């Protein structure tokens, strides 16, 4: 269970968020550009520091301003898929996925076994020796997800994981992404612009506006937010959309 109750002063507004994500639940975070979605992910991951508040994962405080606790990002055990995927270009697909295990100083045999297992499950074994810069957008997305999941994270953060894919690849990836994340049974937060992602992947959704959660509900309720600020977005969702 992830519990977040934090405040941070940003350039144009204050980010003030209180939310909880249960085990195995996928929370979709939607909102306009610059409303603080990626900043919120970075704060949870420990890449930025809140001004005050508390972040706890399974009861373990990751950040607590009153107790002066601020766990370093490398020891938070959070899987993070970046918007650009951030695959290390000088490494092969295999080495990218193995990176998180190498930092944990596992034996070579154990690393090889676990990476092979993960790559085969993701259908990436055939391209294990390819440089990360030379693979397609869909493959990059799967490698980034495999790299985040292999460390067996306690929490999964995904920043617009489908935005770099073309429309056809997005539709195929949505179902795949939901199944893969649900199989891990960890709390997950996915940032997206696309309401089709919310409807097809998420269990619950929050609308962030200038640093505040203004709407929250089940992912299937998103369509009923039409009267609100997302009406223009909802207008874009095709009725037949099924992911």
Partner 1 sequence: MASNRTKLNYLSKLPNRGRETLGISTRAREMALKTALGLMLILALAFIALPVASLFLKSPLDATIRSMQDPVVIDALRLSLVTSTLTILVVVLMGTPIAYVNARFQYPGKEIADSLIDLPVIMPPAVAGIALLMAFGRMGILGHYLNAFGFSVAFTTLAVVMAQVFVSSPFFIRQAKTSFEDVDMAFENAARTLGASRFYTFFHVILPMALNGLVSGAIMAFARSLGEFGATIMFAGNFEGRTQTMPLAIYTAMQGDLDVSLCLAMILVAISFLVIALVKMLTRRVHKNAGS
Interface with partner 1 by CB under 8 A: which range of 67-75, 114-122, 176-184, 235-243?
67-75
- Please list, in sequence order, all residues whose beta carbon lies within 8 angstroms of the beta carbon of residue 134, skipping any fewer than 6 positions away: none
Select the residue interacting with partner 1 from 18, 20, 51, 89 (CB under 8 A).
89
Q: 73 vs 137, which CB is nearer to partner 1? A: 73
- Alpha carbon separation from 119 to 126, 143, 203, 236 (Å, rounded): 9, 8, 27, 35
Q: Considering only CA atoms, which of 24, 61, 34, 19 is closest in space to residue 155?
A: 24
Among 11, 90, 109, 239, binds partner 1 (CB under 8 A): 90
Which tokens sit at 25? Answer: 């639940």
Shorter beta-carbon distance to partner 1: residue 33 or 240 = 33
> Which residue is it, tokens 């990218």?
96
Characterize the bridge pairing of strands 26-31 and 69-70. unpaired
Q: For residues 147 and 32, what is the distance between their CA atoms, to the nearest angstrom?
A: 28
Report 187-226 residues binding partner 1 (CB under 8 A): none
151 near partner 1, judged by CB under 8 A: yes
Query: For partner 1, which is the closer residue by CB, 115 or 215?
Result: 115
Q: Which residues bind partner 1 (CB under 8 A)?
A: 42, 45-47, 72-80, 82-84, 86, 88-90, 99-100, 103-104, 133-134, 147-148, 151
């Amino acid at each position: 269970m992830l519990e977040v109750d934090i405040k941070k002063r940003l350039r144009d507004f204050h980010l003030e968020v209180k939310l909880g994500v249960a085990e195995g639940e996928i929370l979709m975070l939607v909102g306009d550009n610059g409303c603080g979605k990626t900043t919120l992910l970075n704060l949870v991951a420990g890449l930025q520091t809140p001004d005050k508040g508390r972040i706890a994962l399974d009861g373990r405080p990751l950040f607590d301003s009153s107790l002066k606790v601020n766990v370093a990002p490398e020891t938070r055990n959070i899987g993070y898929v970046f918007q650009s995927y951030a695959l290390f270009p000088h490494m092969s697909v295999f080495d990218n996925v193995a990176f998180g295990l190498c930092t944990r100083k596992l034996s070579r045999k154990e690393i090889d076994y676990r990476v092979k297992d993960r790559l085969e499950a993701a259908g990436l074994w055939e391209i294990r020796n390819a440089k990360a810069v030379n693979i397609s957008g869909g493959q990059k997305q799967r490698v980034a997800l495999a790299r985040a999941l292999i460390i067996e994270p306690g929490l999964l953060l995904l920043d617009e994981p489908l935005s770099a894919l073309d429309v056809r690849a997005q539709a195929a990836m949505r179902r795949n992404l939901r199944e893969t994340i649900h199989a891990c049974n960890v709390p997950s937060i996915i940032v997206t612009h696309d309401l089709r992602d919310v409807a097809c992947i998420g269990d619950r959704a929050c609308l962030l506006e200038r640093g505040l959660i203004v709407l929250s509900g089940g992912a299937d309720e998103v369509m009923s937010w039409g009267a609100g600020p997302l009406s223009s977005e909802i207008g874009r969702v095709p009725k037949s959309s099924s992911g």
